[in-house]
Amino acid sequence: MRDVAVVGFAQAPNVRSTPGTTNGVEMLVPILAQVYEQTGLSKQDIGFWCSGSSDYLAGRAFSFISAIDAIGAFPPIHESHVEMDAAWALYEAWLKIRTGEADTALVYGFGKSSAGQLRRVLALQLDPYTVAPLWPDSVSIAALQARLGLDAGLWSEKDLAAVAARSRADATRNPFAQVSGGTEVCGVTELLDAPYLADPLRAHDIAPVTDGAAVIVLAAADRAAEFAERPAVITGIEHRVDTPVLGARDLTRSPSTEAAGRAVGTGGVEIAELHAPFTHQELILRTALGLGDDVRINPSGGALAGNPMFAAGLARIGEAASRILTGEASKVLAHATSGPALQQNLVAVLEA
């Protein structure tokens, strides 16, 4: 089967709130134009289209159908959609190219997280019989996970603040970031002075509520040189899932990430973009993937600098691929998560 490469990536600015519609068209039209320009492709050249978004985020049924206006679906196109982060849409597109059904694919994700009350809307992805009727919000669930690790001595509040401080400092170099700041304004000591938002988590431990969108163009590796000077070839990609029963798994570990990481092989990775919407989750992922201190984590600032729902995981793949496209690195890792407390995880390794 053929290899697949990332040949283009663009993202909308990560912002607290856009005035646009929940179907994402306003955010998508400009970034679609950017990837056409990067790759020299036009919409007639795209063999397969796939997107990730959520009707619950939009508050209306079939909201992703309206987004299709942004890609101009005439003459009729081959199109699909996943109701999860668009990293999983990328997986579907990767399969289409691997199996020879398409040479090129365009993958996009978008979310207007600000339209509803995000932490409450996300309660509806929990078990509908015994958990969701209690309306436990996504931040509280992450806080339960964080305390398990604190109590077990796996990390300290200072360790968590260090993740936040590094992410914010890195985000100052990311023009798309929503949250950033140098160490002079958000050093570890200053961060630990902040009050708890959801004890044991403080505001800096929690990804912001973000509106945003991202788009990636894939091509069969044997054609990728037509669209990019230094394509980022996906040499491994795998996704796994853990039980949805929160009280039945060890929340301080991520067995699905461990399994996905083992399957793709993480040796020799120089840079990793990890989709960790909470500081302690970066530490869980780092351990699960066996990433040593020599691996640069989230030079973009990561999800703590901006977490557009259903696009942030795809953006991690895009950010990682960009390091290869621009020549900064030759082997990178990207991770995406979906669901509560790192329930579902996707890991990809990309090489020059």
Partner 1 sequence: MSTSLSAPLDLAFDYTRSLGPVLGRFAAGLRERRIEGVRGADGRVHVPPVEYDPVTAAALTEFVPVSDEGTVLSWSWMAEPLAGQPLTTPFAWALIRLDGADTAMLHAVHVPGPADMSTGMRVRARWAAEPVGHIRDIAYFLPVGAPDGPSPAPPPESAQDGVMVTPIQLHYRHSASPEESRYLRGLAEGKLTGQRCPACGKVYIPPRGACPTDGVPTVDEVELPDTGIVTTFCIVNVPFLGQRIPPPYVAAYILLDGADIAFLHLVLGCDAAQVRMGMRVRAAWKPRDEWWTSLENISHFEPTGEPDAPYESFAHHL
Nearest distance from C-beta of residue 151 to partner 1, angstroms: 5
Q: Residue 200, preceding bond cis, omega within 30 degrees?
A: yes
**91/108 with CB nearer partner 1:** 108
Rounded to 5 degrees, φ, ψ at 307 are -135, 65
Query: How many Å apart are CA 275 and CA 281, to the nearest integer?
Result: 9
Residue 30-59 contact track with partner 1, rule CB under 8 A, x = bound: --x----------x------------x-xx
Burial class of residue 261 (count of CB atoms within 10 Å of its CB; 0-12, 13-18, 19+): buried
Tell me if 218 sits within 8 A of 90, measured CB to CB: yes
Tell me if 321 sits within 8 A of 351, measured CB to CB: no
Binding status of residue 25 toward partner 1 by CB under 8 A: yes
Out of 2, 3, 15, 200, the residue judged to bind partner 1 by CB under 8 A: 200
Tell me if 11 sits within 8 A of 318, measured CB to CB: yes
Out of 40, 62, 99, 151, the residue judged to bind partner 1 by CB under 8 A: 151
Query: How many Å apart are CA 32 and CA 36, to the nearest integer?
Result: 6
Binding status of residue 175 toward partner 1 by CB under 8 A: no
Query: How many Å apart are CA 197 and CA 206, to the nearest integer?
Result: 9
Nearest distance from C-beta of residue 199 to partner 1, angstroms: 4
Binding status of residue 326 toward partner 1 by CB under 8 A: no
Binding status of residue 124 toward partner 1 by CB under 8 A: yes
Instruction: Dump the DSSP string for 256-302.
Output: HHHHHHHHH--TT--EEE---SBHHHHHHHHHHHT--TTSEE-TT--
Binding status of residue 69 toward partner 1 by CB under 8 A: yes
Residue 243-262 contact track with partner 1, rule CB under 8 A, x = bound: x-xxxx--x-----------
Out of 15, 45, 68, 194, the residue judged to bind partner 1 by CB under 8 A: 68
**129/193 with CB nearer partner 1:** 129
Binders of partner 1 among 72-111, rule CB under 8 A?
Answer: 72-74
What is the 8-class DSSP label of residue 44? G
Residue with tokens 């068209």: 25
Binding status of residue 120 toward partner 1 by CB under 8 A: yes
Residues at the interface with partner 1 (CB under 8 A):
19-23, 25-26, 29, 32, 43, 56, 58-60, 66, 68-74, 114-117, 119-121, 124, 128-137, 140-141, 143-148, 151, 196-201, 243, 245-248, 251
